[in-house]
Amino acid sequence: MVNLTPYQILVLAMLALWLIPLMLVWARFDRFPHGRELLAVVMLSPLLLTEQTLSAFEISANWHFLVAVFISLPLLLTSLLSVAITRLLLDPARYSAKMILLPGGIAVLASIPFLFYSLDYKSGLLAEAPVGDLTQHWYLYGYMLLCQGVSCGRLSWWKNGSQTISCSSVIRWWILTSIASRRPSRLLGA
């Protein structure tokens, strides 16, 4: 039997839990008006665990080029989820999906220099978090600051710029879709 550390078990459990949303989105893809965005988010989300998998299983340094490759993925996934929610709640004439995806695109472009960092630097990032030494990690800190600024800007847009989207309308949509998926005849009055 293979001896696994608790960290390895946690990483494997997160990958196993990923199968649940994958099956749900795959089975109901045709019913969702935002199915493309949801499928993209579910398919890309395991890539968030790349660095954790490398460090948990102590994979050889030949694979350390993958460190910081997917650093822009959280912002890209939130952009896709924002498009999905906006597509559900607003008329297509009231928003531009390209403008909502723009912060994710900027994050991807700003993360290109991470691809060219040396393997020694990436191995160091994997072994120890980049704490302190602003002169050595200046681009990483600046990138994280950019991502935080974009996230705060998106939250203020949702709060101030879009009066028709509220938390209660999102909750009502989830309740209606869960009821409709179980008993569609109840919603149709039959």
The domain ranges of the chain are: 6-188
Cα Rg, the chain, nearest whole Å? 20
CA atoms within 13 A on the CB side of 131: 3
pLDDT of 31 > 50? The answer is: yes
For residue 172, what pLDDT is reported? 53
How much is the average pLDDT of 145-169?
61
For residue 121, what pLDDT is reported? 85
pLDDT of 55 > 80? The answer is: yes
User: Locate tokens 């203020």: which residue?
Assistant: 156
Mean per-residue pLDDT over the chain, rounded: 77
For residue 43, what pLDDT is reported? 92
Cα-based angle 42, 76, 152 (whole degrees, multiple of 5): 125
